[in-house]
Structure formats: C-alpha cells, structure tokens
C-alpha cells in the first residue's frame, strides 16, 4: 500500500478505467482511422513514447513473465534507445518486434493508445481529429493526477529511473525527494507531477 492512498492493483484498475473511457469517447473518431496491422509508423517515426511512472510500473510487472534471454535482449534495446534518444534522434521503439507488432500491447502506455491517423503517415506523422487530440490531453492529465507522486517522460527513460531500487522504494512510499535523483531527472528532462517540486 502506498502512503498516498492506493496500492498498485487499485491504481492499475483506475488507470485502465481512464484508458477504457478514452477509447469509448474517442471511438467515433477512431472509426475513421486507416491504421492497419503491420503498419508501425507511429512506433518508428514518432520517436517519443511518453509514459508515467505508474505506467512504467505496470510494464515492469508485465515483463516479469518474460524469460531471461528476452529480458537481456530488451535491456540491450532499451540502452540503445536511451542513448539514441538523448541525441534527439527519431528512434524505433524497443518494444516493436520484427513483425512490427508491439510486444507489450496489453500494457502499452497511453501515448501509444491515443495515436491513430485518418491519412497514411508515410513518415510524416499521424493526422488526428482535433476533438480526439483534446480528449487525449484530458485523459493524459487524468493519468498524471492518478500518479501524483510520479513523473512522466520518454518510456525508456522512465524504465531506467524505475531500475533504481532506491527510487522504486521511495516512489511506492510516496516520499522520494527530487534532490536525491536530480541528475537523472535533469538528464532525461522528466516532468515531475508533484506541483510543489515543479515550482521549486
Ligand atoms: S510501446 Fe508498443 S505501441 Fe507503443 S511505440 Fe512501442 S511498440 Fe509501438
């Protein structure tokens, strides 16, 4: 149980409720999507896969079911992704497999869920309805509010932060201090959800 009120199971339930509600309200727009299986343009050409710490924790939980070799390969891809991303490159998501499928589809973060396109991307980025974009912004804010002791950033950066046992312990207890992790937050330009930390 976290100090800030909810355990991970309950948080996960609430997180998926936000995802599901977003899917419900955005469905009339997504019906016009031309996205199809095998097209992974948004996993290759967008380069930024945003996630919250809570989403990162749920992905880590999911990865516990992977075998040792798959985890080693993933860790190598995550390391490469971090280093390329720090140079601002548009980098292929490390979770995309050889068949252009997402290896964590069930627990992919919201930044992936909100993407679709009504026009073929062709490396130019997705074309989304304005209303769907606004609904996505609203859901994103709800996800940050659901994770008040957390932060947001590029997925491989968030997972790197969560690799730190000290951060995970303090985060789960709701009492981590920015000064203890300032170097990693600055290097990865992570957004702290806690308002008083942002205002310092
Ligand atoms: S997490 Fe999955 S859906 Fe999201 S960018 Fe990566 S491969 Fe694509």
Enumerate residue ranges in the chain where pLDDT < 70: 1-6, 195-200
Length of the chain: 200
Is pTM, for the whole model, over 0.85? yes
40 alpha carbon – ligand 1 mean position (Å): 8
Cα(14) to centroid(ligand 1), Å: 21
In the block, residue with structure tokens 């989304």: 128
The secondary structure of the chain, three-state, reads CCCCCCCHHHHHHHHHHHHHHHHHHHHHHHCCCCCCCCCCHHHHCCCCCEEEHHHHHHHHHHHCCCCHHHHHHHHHHHHHHHHHHHCCCCCCCCCECCCCCECCHHHCCHHHHCCCCCCCCCCCCCCCCHHHHHHHHHHHHHHHHCCCCCEEEEHHHHHHHHHCHHHHHHHHCCCCCHHHHHHHHHHHCCEECCHHHHCC
The response to whether residue 74 sits with its C-beta less than 6 Å from ligand 1 reads no
CA of 153 to the centre of ligand 1 (A): 14
Contact assessment for residue 26 and residue 135, using Cβ atoms and an 8 Å cutoff: yes
Q: Is 116 in the pocket of ligand 1 (CB under 6 A)?
A: no
Q: Is the CB of 91 under 6 A from ligand 1?
A: no
Residue 18: what pLDDT?
98
Spatial contact of 58 and 15, defined as CB atoms under 8 Å apart? yes
**pLDDT in the model for residue 8:** 86
Q: Which pLDDT value is given to residue 1?
A: 42
**CA distance linking residue 67 with residue 198, whole number of Å:** 39
Name the nearest CA neighbour of 154 among 106, 100, 101, 87: 87
Q: What is the pLDDT of residue 6?
A: 45
Does any ligand 1 atom lie closer than 6 A to the CB of residue 93? Answer: yes
In the reported structure, the alpha carbon of residue 100 is separated from the centroid of ligand 1 by a whole-number distance in angstroms of: 9
Q: Would you kindly state where each structural domain of the chain is located, as residue ranges?
A: 8-198
Q: What is the CA radius of gyration of the chain?
A: 17
* Ligand 1 pocket: which of 38, 39, 45, 96 to mutate (most atoms within 8 A of CB): 96
CB of 96 shorter than 6 A to ligand 1: yes
| Ligand 1 neighbourhood includes 95 CB (under 6 angstroms) | yes
């Amino acid at each position: 149980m976290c100090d800030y009120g909810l355990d991970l199971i309950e948080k996960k339930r609430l997180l998926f409720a936000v995802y599901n509600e977003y899917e419900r309200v955005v469905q009339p727009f997504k019906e016009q999507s031309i996205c199809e299986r095998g097209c992974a343009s948004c996993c290759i050409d967008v380069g930024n896969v945003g996630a919250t710490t809570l989403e990162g924790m749920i992905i880590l939980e999911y990865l516990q079911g992977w075998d040792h070799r798959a985890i080693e390969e993933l860790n190598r891809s995550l390391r490469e992704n971090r280093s390329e991303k720090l140079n601002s490159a548009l980098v292929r998501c490390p979770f995309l497999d050889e068949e252009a499928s997402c290896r964590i589809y069930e627990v992919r973060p919201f930044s992936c869920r909100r993407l679709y396109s009504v026009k073929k991307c062709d490396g130019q980025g997705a074309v989304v309805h304005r209303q769907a974009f606004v609904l996505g912004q609203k859901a994103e804010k709800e996800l940050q509010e659901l994770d008040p002791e957390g932060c947001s950033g590029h997925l491989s950066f968030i997972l790197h932060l969560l690799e730190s046992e000290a951060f995970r312990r303090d985060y789960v207890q709701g009492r981590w201090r920015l000064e203890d992790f300032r170097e990693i937050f600055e290097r990865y330009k992570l957004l702290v959800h806690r308002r008083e930390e942002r205002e310092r």
